[in-house]
Structure 1
């Protein structure tokens, strides 16, 4: 691999005079990093210093020997080229590619030689290519500073409001020579469904035939102990084989049942030639209900005719350099979702169609997948050459992913319909196309043809009626972004959304993650490198403004870090508790976002080094199967209980009004029986004796169920609340795989949090944001190290809301 054109800095030109060894699959950035040519792109302000990589053209070259195995056809299969490439074999151009999101296949039968063969893939600069295509076709409105909508490449690769601008180049998925004769399996779509208790597998098999081959083919499908065979006449482009499995075990999302998966093998025989395809399916049905009702129009996903309350998160590419991802990294991040109580991940439209590993893990662990087509926050031309590329990539994506039991929804785009309506696009477009034909015609047609078992949504947000604003809370899905951008998070309670598919609030990553890449001296929220790792417009100013009356402004950088992490967690939890209290009007929420793709201040619950932020622990609480929360209503506070399980929730609930001070005196209390049927919610008025405070600044309400569920209600914001400075003591106890920190409260200790990564970056803790009444204890379990920290443990490792206010 070597640079062939572009602004290579003098300090790198000597190192790049000779070729650099490339790893395939891989990317130029990762190869240059491995070779020691460049520093870590994520560190400090290296992102801008390395911008020349995306502005340069690159060439990949390899020499290989080839020996015929007797087959008549040889094809070069490139599963992923990023992005604008010219492919040559032995000096002959095979073709040019323009799309990161699809595979290409080239006939090389007449070009391969028995000995030395040279394959060269030349990549044009992605930045220059996007600029050129945009200038040639006319500017289409987009967010951010590169015209990513002019080229079929991962949009966020050009930078986003949480991600770095590291426009990559490379052979990012496998490339190989395939040899075959007669006929081969081109693709298989094993569409698994249900007919009462029977499983029905509709295997749709596309075949590629060698010119002049006249033998018929036999196709055999094996699944669940059933074998089905059919004869396919020579030259027939495809075959449909239906298999029926009696008494099939149904696939369910987590929390609703098990996830049985069935192996599928498709075999092809013709004229002595054979070919096979293998995969896995789960038998289930998925439906989407958006039919108008008395409140407007719902958004309801059902699996096997059972409504699912969605507790989800948006998913972005898990690393800015996606070739570093593998089965292990995907499973680790998906388990973050599961451990956080989630049952759905939305693969957002500015990223990629993920690797098979991602969907395999979701199949196995019961996580539903909402899959966006790859259009985000921009207008897109519907003319050539873009239209053909869009159709080709969509067909390949639907074909590849259609086998997965976890696939619950195809979604046309992210925010583009909303953008056309409200973001001032119509004047610069001047009547030109903007993507509407994709979302309302092309893409739903492809889904109906290739994956009719999976629902299709035109966009997110969308009201499922062209005459209703696409982000109307009364209909379909909505995004709530005035919170964070413009207004206080208490505004969440002004909405009664049917379904929220995006909302969120920012906070910094773990201290160890942040300081591994930000080296400002002194460290400051508005420091030069800090702002490199804050991509949102006025992001750290919004963090400051977002404290509102909830928390005081920080005294130092230590308090800035803890205060803004705490405020992020509280803001998102505030929204979700409100949404769940509206059930069944509200049918779910998908928080922005689960993960980060580098170390950054962002909306993520888990940071770029895999550390679970306080937000993650808040999500685990509010996304629990059973939730207690106190919510305001016109007639006073209510205890809202949402039971998202198959078993009736029967318990006794004690509500008490207590003093915040030393001793935590109980000032009033009552007990009532709570009975919540399966998959439902109830509201109970907070008793007047508890709901009315004698001194609002020194009292609070605790709601505690006999099964351990708790909720708290405060009469004033923390900035007006009397909290003791010395509300707890802590003891460190060594364990076999780390240490415990046992905290004992002497007064109300609010939102206790332990940050062991400050002592050892690899350390992890099991709990966070723990509120204790006077006399209560909590044990934080830390896993990491050979020995426990010596001496007492306190600020900045052990924090609470108390010391921010005293």
Structure 2
């Protein structure tokens, strides 16, 4: 077999770039005498190039949409070639020497241009002023959203990032942010239609392609098996390869995300068509009753977060940029990432990594909040092409499971009082369904996020953006009362980064006016998401956050980190319990867009926050949960999402904070694959015990319930806690201790406490992180933590929210 043939070559320069006044240069010839060009990596953005040249400030981003920005490079060759532009942000002219080849008005469309090269040429890209285009007269929409400004953005096919004051820095996305490549015409297969499906347990690989210069039989190969494609028209080949017993693709929590290489051999050459995964995605109930997904026939509780680009300035699209964040998502037990309509389509490397890592992807169209002009034929045509290109680019990606019509378009109109005939986005939904049926019939289509009920944001239908617990400051019980079916957004707080990140950003004091710049708020609201976090600090710990912020800012931040962790775990536990109607919850957001206490569960540097650690515990595929069922006592919920049975032991202990045992029950059991077991406290104890103090027979004999799930060999799988009388965060002596111990070839941190420890947290002296943080510790118990990214013998401190000790190790 010949080596796999690579025919696309990056056109990566060297490129240079210059910023000019709008209209200062009508064509490349006007650039000849201009000074001030700087090197500009491609793919990349103008902001990224300015940053690399030392001409960019994160605190005061340079406005770019008001200027023209020119890129140029030299290209050499002879003969007919195809130039491919994967993404040009946003109003872009492509010039070859003095000839205008393309004028693009969308950063979301790819373009291919045929050129005849005759030696050395100048390729120039002119990114025209978007601000000037938005300022010209446009037809106004029926409503004007609060999210983004100006209203004329409804006509532009560009990201809303940079246009959303209150929660996103004003970083203007301009430039060739996706790859530019060149290839000889007819040098590789084209018009590829590659589909992987499963029928009665057999993998089916279908392929159609154009290969005019095949020079003989065209053979499709996968998993060590092959078939010869039929020539259905001159240069067009089609066929189907059946693969009985093929290993299926699973989310990483439920199995192995198996991928299989696909190649085509013809004329002594072999072409790489990438890798595919075989899986099915189905809905387990009608959408009106709530989105609920099954992978390969197994229901999956979809948990994860809403994605943000790893670097808002440079908008990188390579594996190195995506891998750290996506790896942390896997480590946290996330099963789904949603790319919402306020962001941008991520590069293929993002989806390739999600395929490899076993992360489901919910992909929205880049439509959000506006009344888009779908009655305009030109807009509709461009949007149809955009949808088709998206699905074609991801035609074989097994991680892609949901495609949505955008974010909060229906909600925005409905909340302004419009009737369903206005707020229902039927035109976009029809376009998505039509394209999916043709290109990706295996996908689930969601009309909009949220949508599905009498109102698009009804919590008990379709998909919702649930902020009852969170922005609306509802009690924990609302997470059950709201009967959330699927929260495609939820649990937004101003999450406080760890001290090292705050120190690097110069944001160590929440009383500093600069602190507020990193706190997100909805435009037009008289409250922000720090106030939301403070509400739960007060509700959980019985303190006045404002006084604490003024008098003890360090303690204020500590309780803020701890409260978010508690709220995240409690809400997800409610949704994952046996009998819950909730089939998914995606936290808003995954990563911060700027330094400070943003929505992200990971900060702008990529370091996990307390919320990430809480979600890592809440999202475990093998899990133990406790829920308060009132007069029915506490219920223990034991979950095993894996494909293997687990011989386990469960213990439920009721103790005082000092560790005095009031009641204790335990049982050995087998957790079957994909199973959930619910046991009442009465069943575990074998007798009546007022586990929730619901019967009011006198003072409660306990303060704390502790559920522990272990393997038969004693390995702890999961723990859960129930606080009968709330969470007392008053610092006191709790007998906290910590020491480094040798754990095989590694060094671990052993942490123990004599009394109940609330919000145990580790602060390292240098870089790195512990395997867990901001966790509770039962009285008389211990934990061993591993480290990532530290030296051989890390050092730091251990504290507990309710402990007076500061323990060095």
- Confirm or deny a common fold (TM above 0.5): yes
Q: Secondary structure at the match of 2:157?
A: coil
Q: Which runs of 4+ in 1 moved over 6 A?
A: 135-139, 215-218, 733-739
Which residue number in structure 2 is paired with residue 510 of structure 1? 498
- C-alpha deviations, 1:65-101, integer Å up to 9, x for none? 3333xxxx33332111111111111111112111111
Once the two structures are TM-superposed, the CA of residue 17 in structure 1 deviates from its matched residue by 4.4
Provide the aligned C-alpha RMSD in A: 3.4
1:657 alignment partner, one of 650, 654, 663: 654
1:26 alignment partner, one of 39, 44, 48: 44
Which residue number in structure 2 is paired with residue 118 of structure 1? 122
1:454 alignment partner, one of 443, 450, 474: 443
1:351 alignment partner, one of 338, 343, 347: 343
Q: 1:628 to 1:789 in 2, by over 3 A?
A: closer
Q: Secondary structure at the match of 1:448?
A: helix
Once the two structures are TM-superposed, the CA of residue 363 in structure 1 deviates from its matched residue by 1.6
Q: Secondary structure at the match of 2:540?
A: coil
Once the two structures are TM-superposed, the CA of residue 691 in structure 1 deviates from its matched residue by 1.2
Task: Work out whether residues 27 and 169 of structure 1, in 8 Å CA contact, stay in contact via their aligned partners in 2.
Answer: yes
- C-alpha deviations, 1:218-275, integer Å up to 9, x for none? 75433332132222434x8x65432223432222222333333222224677xx9x99
- C-alpha deviations, 1:136-168, integer Å up to 9, x for none? 888754613344433111222434654322012
Q: Secondary structure at the match of 2:49?
A: helix
Q: Secondary structure at the match of 1:319?
A: coil
Which residue number in structure 2 is paired with residue 12 of structure 1? none
Distance 1:341 1:287 in 2: 21
Q: Secondary structure at the match of 2:38?
A: coil
Answer yes or no: is 1:586 the counterpart of 2:582: yes
Once the two structures are TM-superposed, the CA of residue 577 in structure 1 deviates from its matched residue by 0.4
1:683 alignment partner, one of 664, 678, 697: 678
Which residue number in structure 2 is paired with residue 470 of structure 1? 456
Q: 1:402 to 1:546 in 2, by over 3 A?
A: same
Q: 1:414 to 1:150 in 2, by over 3 A?
A: same
Which residue number in structure 1 is paired with residue 106 of structure 2? 99
Distance 1:503 1:144 in 2: 20
1:744 alignment partner, one of 741, 748, 752: 752
Give the TM-score taking structure 1 as reference length.
0.85
Which residue number in structure 1 is paired with residue 606 of structure 2? 610
Q: 1:739 to 1:242 in 2, by over 3 A?
A: closer
**Which runs of 5 or more residues in structure 1 are unaligned?**
9-15
Distance 1:185 1:157 in 2: 39
Task: Work out whether residues 626 and 720 of structure 2, in 8 Å CA contact, stay in contact via their aligned partners in 1.
Answer: yes
Distance 2:788 2:201 in 1: 46
Distance 2:424 2:481 in 1: 32
Q: Secondary structure at the match of 2:434?
A: helix
Once the two structures are TM-superposed, the CA of residue 194 in structure 1 deviates from its matched residue by 1.9
Distance 1:283 1:734 in 2: 43
Answer yes or no: is 1:196 the counterpart of 2:196: no
How do residues 640-789 of structure 1 correspond to structure 2 at under 5 angstroms?
A: 640-643=636-639, 644-647=641-644, 651-661=648-658, 664-672=659-667, 677-687=672-682, 688-689=688-689, 691=691, 695=699, 699-707=703-711, 708=716, 709-719=718-728, 724-731=732-739, 741-756=749-764, 759-760=765-766, 762-786=767-791
Once the two structures are TM-superposed, the CA of residue 103 in structure 1 deviates from its matched residue by 0.7
Answer yes or no: is 1:84 the counterpart of 2:83: no
Distance 1:129 1:307 in 2: 48
Once the two structures are TM-superposed, the CA of residue 340 in structure 1 deviates from its matched residue by 0.9
1:367 alignment partner, one of 356, 359, 362: 359
Answer yes or no: is 1:168 the counterpart of 2:162: no
How do residues 19-418 of structure 1 correspond to structure 2 at under 5 angstroms?
A: 19-39=37-57, 41=58, 45-47=59-61, 50=62, 52-68=63-79, 73-109=80-116, 112-114=117-119, 116-132=120-136, 134=138, 141=145, 143-147=147-151, 148-159=153-164, 162-180=167-185, 185-205=189-209, 220-224=219-223, 225-234=225-234, 240-266=238-264, 276=271, 278-291=273-286, 297-382=289-374, 383-418=376-411
Once the two structures are TM-superposed, the CA of residue 502 in structure 1 deviates from its matched residue by 1.5
Answer yes or no: is 1:624 the counterpart of 2:620: yes
Once the two structures are TM-superposed, the CA of residue 437 in structure 1 deviates from its matched residue by 3.8
How do residues 548-563 of structure 1 correspond to structure 2 at under 5 angstroms?
A: 548-551=538-541, 552=543, 553=545, 554=548, 555-563=551-559
Distance 1:160 1:736 in 2: 51
Give the TM-score taking structure 2 as reference length.
0.84
Q: 1:399 to 1:105 in 2, by over 3 A?
A: same
Distance 1:130 1:515 in 2: 39
Which residue number in structure 2 is paired with residue 575 of structure 1? 571
Q: How many residues in Structure 1 have an aligned counterpart in Structure 2?
A: 749
Which residue number in structure 2 is paired with residue 11 of structure 1? none
